């Protein structure tokens, strides 16, 4: 069975991420979306909130499981016996950063290949960081994220009283 792991912070999941999951899940028998605690980023949503938002928006895909974890990605990929690590690419700027991560993961767990999947052109400028900034400054992100995420951003903003 060919298993792929798609790791990320997903803080929050965007339409760009969902597009990558929709496309890539067709290429593997099973895809595990791993919502990760990224030690170098301060998250707006808790790990549990992020996991729930990804679950809600991938429930139409039978071969996709969503989990969260804190730790080394290579260990997680080994545990899942996955043959591929999926990362989405928007522009060449993404590639340089992603190449170093891919090389580190290849050294730590040589049995998995990193597979880069191109984002659809209509999602090329979308990132979780842009979504958070626009939403927290009262801009509309309805076109950039699933409806449930749009609502969650509004609730988070209200809770923060900004």
**φ, ψ (nearest 5 deg) of residue 112:** -115, 140
**Which lies closer to ligand PNS via its Cβ, residue 7 or residue 153?**
7
Does residue number 53 form part of the binding site for ligand PNS (CB under 6 A)?
no
From the list 42, 21, 62, 38, the residue with the least C-alpha distance to 146 is 21
The DSSP call for residue 89 is E
Residue in 8, 12, 16, 146 binding ligand PNS, rule: CB under 6 A:
8
Pairwise CA distance, residues 25 & 123, whole Å:
18
Contacts with ligand PNS, 65-104, as mask; x by CB under 6 A: -------xxx--------------------------x--x
17 an active-site residue?
A: yes
**Nearest CA among 145, 140, 113 for reference residue 128:** 145
Residues marked as catalytic = 17, 41, 90, 128
- Catalog residues that contact ligand PNS under the rule CB under 6 A: 7-9, 36, 38, 41, 72-74, 101, 104-105
């Amino acid at each position: 069975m060919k298993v792929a792991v798609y790791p990320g912070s997903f803080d929050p999941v965007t339409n760009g991420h969902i597009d990558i999951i929709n496309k890539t899940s067709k290429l593997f028998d099973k895809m595990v979306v791993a919502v990760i605690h990224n030690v170098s980023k301060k998250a707006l949503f808790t790990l549990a909130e992020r996991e729930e938002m990804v679950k809600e928006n991938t429930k139409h895909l039978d071969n996709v499981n969503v989990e969260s974890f804190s730790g080394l990605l290579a260990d997680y990929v080994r545990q899942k016996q996955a043959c591929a690590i999926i990362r989405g690419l928007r522009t060449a700027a993404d590639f340089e950063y992603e190449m170093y991560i891919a090389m580190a993961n290849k050294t730590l767990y040589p049995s998995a290949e990193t597979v880069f999947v191109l984002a659809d052109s209509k999602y090329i400028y979308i990132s979780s960081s842009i979504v958070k900034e626009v939403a927290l400054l009262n801009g509309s992100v309805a076109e950039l994220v699933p409806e449930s995420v749009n609502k969650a951003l509004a609730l988070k903003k209200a809770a923060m009283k900004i």
